[in-house]
Each structure stands twice: as C-alpha cells, then as structure tokens.
Amino acid sequence: MKVQDVLNDLQRRFPNEPEYLQAVTEVLESIEEVYNQHPEFEKSNLIERLCIADRIFTFRVTWVDDKGKINVNMGYRVQHNNAIGPYKGGLRFHSSVNPSILKFLAFEQTFKNALTTLPMGGGKGGSDFSPRGKSNAEVMRFCQAFMLELWKHIGPDTDVPAGDIGVGGREVAYMFGMYKKLAKEFTGVLTGKGIEFGGSLIRPEATGYGNIYFLLEMLKTKNIDIKGKKCLVSGSGNVAQYTCDKLIELGAIPVSLSDSDGYIYDPEGITREKLDYVMELKNVERGRIREYAEKYNCKYVPGGRVWAETGDIALPSATQNELNGDDARHLVETGCIAVSEGANMPSTPEAIEVFQKAKILYAPGKAANAGGVATSGLEMTQNSLRLSWTREEVDSKLKQIMTDIHEQCVKYGKDENGYIDYVKGANIAGFMKVAKAMMAQGIL
C-alpha cells in the first residue's frame, strides 16, 4: 500500500486514537520519499506491518488501598516491534493512560531505540493508576498486583520495561521484587533498577543529560555557546530535574518548572541549591511545584504553561501535546533559538511547523530524549556481563550515543541550503534500520 492509503486506513480503523494517529502521521509523512524509492518495501506491505503493534496485552489490576477499599485499574503492555531486539520501553502510571497514548509511545519508541544504535525493539505499557496522593504501601501493593499479570509477558530477552511518567526508582524496585518472586530468577528484566540490585549509574540522569548533550550538538552547528542562555523547562519530574542539573553545570540558566497544577518562573535562575530543594520536594516529600514559589518568593501561575514566558531555549519535559501552535509562535517571536524535547511528542504538529518555518533549531523527542533508553540499553549490557561500569564510563558512552544520533539526523535531514530537519532525519534514520531488519526476516 502507498503511504497515504495506509494512513487513511489507520484513520478509519482507529478513529478514537488521536495520539497514535498523530505519531504515525508525522513519521509516515517524513519517510514517504525514501519509502517510494524502495518498491520492495511496498511489495511486502512494510508500512502497515510497521505501524500496527505485534500485540497488545490488556488486563485488570485489583489492589487494596490503606482504608481496605478494593480498587480496579487497567493495565497494558504494547509490544510494538522486535525486529532489532527485545521489546523495550517504559511503563507509565497516570490517570490519562489509555490505548491511544501507549500505542503512540510504543510506536515512537521503536524508532527512538533504533536511533540509539543498540539492539532494542519498541514497546510501552502502563496503567491509569496515578501514584499521586498514594502512600508507599499503596504504591507497593499496586505495583505487585500489576506485575502479577505483566510478568507472564516479559523477560530479559523478550521484553524489558522501565520507567516513564509516574514510574521511577521506587516503582521499578517494587515491580522488580515481584517479578523475581514469580519468575524465580534474578535477571535484568527491568531497567532503572536501584544501584544495589543491578541498576546502572547515570540511568536516573540519562534522559535530561542526554537531551542537553543533543542540544549542545545542535548549538555547535551554529557556533552558539550555551553559557548564560535562559532556558524554559517544563515538568518537574525525572527528566526536568536532570535537565536543570546539566544546564546549571554548563553555566546556562534554567528559569522555570511546572507540574500538572501550574508553573513557577524564577528569573534569577534555578541554582544548584534550589534544584536540591526541588528534588527533595518532588522525589521524597512528593509535594507540588507551587511550594517552590512560596519558598523562593517567585512567580507561580496556577493552571498556566511555561511557554507564556520568554527564553533563549525551550526544553519541554512534561508530557505529550503540552506546547501548541500559539505557544510556538510566542516563543519564536520572543527570540527562542532552540527547542529540544525531553518529553515524548510534547509539541503539537502545528507547533513543529512553526519552529521549522522559522528555521530555529528543533529536535523531536525520539532523537533528543533517546539518552534515557540508551542508558537502559547500557544497563542491560552490564546485567548480561554481570559487571558495573563507572559513572565516567556510562556518561562517556551516553555522550557518544547522543553525538551519533545527531550525526544520523544530519545525514538524513540536511537539505541543500544546510538546514537540518531533525524530524525528517530522525524518522528516516530510525525507519531505515527497522525496515532493513524486517525485510531480512521475512513476512511475519
């Protein structure tokens, strides 16, 4: 089938899955040209096979809260594609989780993982359970109940989940404990584990650090120094925190953070000391970002988005479709020079168009945030070797991977005028690798 026919068909079959259709449309539009140059791809109906997940597991998760009430949540695992390695991708626990969101994430993950140069296929999963406001004991019971179903479908050479929104070190550890008990084996079946039981140094930092390493490569193409640049960061979770950490180290100035209730804007900059406070607030006390504004006496905007402010660089690090066309126009008009996505698909298609028309530096999540899963890949390697690498070793591998991803984007995305279309570059590079593997393995 032709690209447009596949798209029309997917729209007809999955009309209630807007995020999935959005992600698929973006990729198919960028690869159409190379796809048409390979008639063998069309002959084997490669696109349709690549867009539809290998399989999706859906299950009920029943758990008891601290008051003795019995709660029911939905659990999912989307095994999208394993042409280049075991399914790999995070688990998201958030009230908004549904099949459309997990299908878009698993689809994106397939291309992202191909870009990392490591042997990992694409998957994603999660639940509409929200850890927000739950006690540690409730989170533990939920994670155990979730794993009681999930463990049948995963394994260190089959499918290796990790964290995403609402799933951090605490949740991964509880799930790992339960898997170990059920499977009667201690294996690297999850990544993002604690350092004492097979985790990798730098994994917590990796997505945020990797995004900044990618940004540095983009800035290098225009001889721009990151020092002193005002940076708008959204979110205040794992990715946002380590994005700020690296910015501070490099002398850039992060000025904002947010959560689902609102955002803070601190024009004097989020210093190391203030970031330490945010980490304690968010990771230990599990408080709200509003408390930062109260402590440091800066602006807090309930319900607002950080893109209403101005900055030289924008680093969306919260969630999908958090930056729309109007936000993008405002950023471009007020002098933003670069956007690098820590989150998955944070910019709407209209926003991406605005950035690209203005020819500012714009990196899509599947390239810029690939450092997280890449370091998960390094964790898998260390687990297989039964060895642990030092911080320096993992960090230098991460840097090299981000530089290589940038190079692949340039190779496939640079036009005759020297403009680098990172969307096209990332999509084609990821696609070609998965496509070649699928072609070689026959019709499956």
Which residues, numbered 346-385, are part of the site for ligand 2IT (CB under 6 A)? 372-373, 376
Which span sits near ligand 2IT by CB under 6 A: 3-11, 86-94, 149-157, 170-178? 86-94
Q: Taking the complex as a whole, how short is the minimal distance between the CB of residue 244 and ligand 2IT, in angstroms?
A: 18
Options 191, 241, 258, 408; binder of ligand 2IT; rule CB under 6 A: 191
Using the rule CB under 6 A, is 89 a contact of ligand 2IT? yes
CB within 8 Å of 364: residues ≥ 6 apart: 341, 345, 347, 352, 422, 423, 426
Which span sits near ligand NDP by CB under 6 A: 141-149, 173-181, 253-261, 348-356? 253-261
CB within 8 Å of 36: residues ≥ 6 apart: 3, 42
Which residues, numbered 327-346, are part of the site for ligand 2IT (CB under 6 A)? 344
Which span sits near ligand NDP by CB under 6 A: 47-55, 162-170, 397-405, 430-438? 162-170
Distance CA 396, CA 198 (A): 20
Q: Taking the complex as a whole, how short is the minimal distance between the CB of residue 284 and ligand NDP, in angstroms?
A: 13
Options 85, 86, 90, 254; binder of ligand 2IT; rule CB under 6 A: 90
Read off φ and ψ for residue 41, nearest 5 degrees. -65, -45
Using the rule CB under 6 A, is 347 a contact of ligand NDP? no
82 or 376, CB closer to ligand NDP? 376
Residue 124 annotated to the active site? yes
Distance CA 308, CA 127 (A): 31
- CB contact at 8 A, 201 and 190: no
Buried b (16+ CB within 10 A) or exposed e, 152-184: ebbbbeebbbbbbbbbbbbbbbbbbebbbeebe
175 or 255, CB closer to ligand 2IT? 175
Q: Which does 239 bind (CB under 5 to 8 A by kind): ligand 2IT, ligand NDP, none?
A: ligand NDP
Site string for ligand NDP, 367-396 (x = CB under 6 A): --x--x------------------------
Using the rule CB under 6 A, is 113 a contact of ligand NDP? no
Distance CA 437, CA 433 (A): 6
> Token pair 């999955």 is at which residue?
14
Using the rule CB under 6 A, is 238 a contact of ligand NDP? yes
- CB contact at 8 A, 434 and 376: no
Distance CA 424, CA 28 (A): 10
- CB contact at 8 A, 363 and 341: yes
Catalytic residue selected from 124, 230, 274, 397: 124
**Measuring CA to CA, how many Å separate 352 from each of 24, 341, 347, 372?**
15, 11, 6, 23
121 or 237, CB closer to ligand NDP? 237
Options 10, 114, 115, 162; binder of ligand 2IT; rule CB under 6 A: 162
Read off φ and ψ for residue 58, nearest 5 degrees. -125, 135
Where does this chain bind ligand 2IT (CB under 6 A)? 88-90, 109, 112, 162, 164, 191, 344, 372-373, 376
Binding site for ligand NDP (CB under 6 A): 94, 96, 163-166, 168, 207, 235-240, 259-261, 317-319, 342-344, 369, 372
Please give the positions annotated as active site. Answer: 124
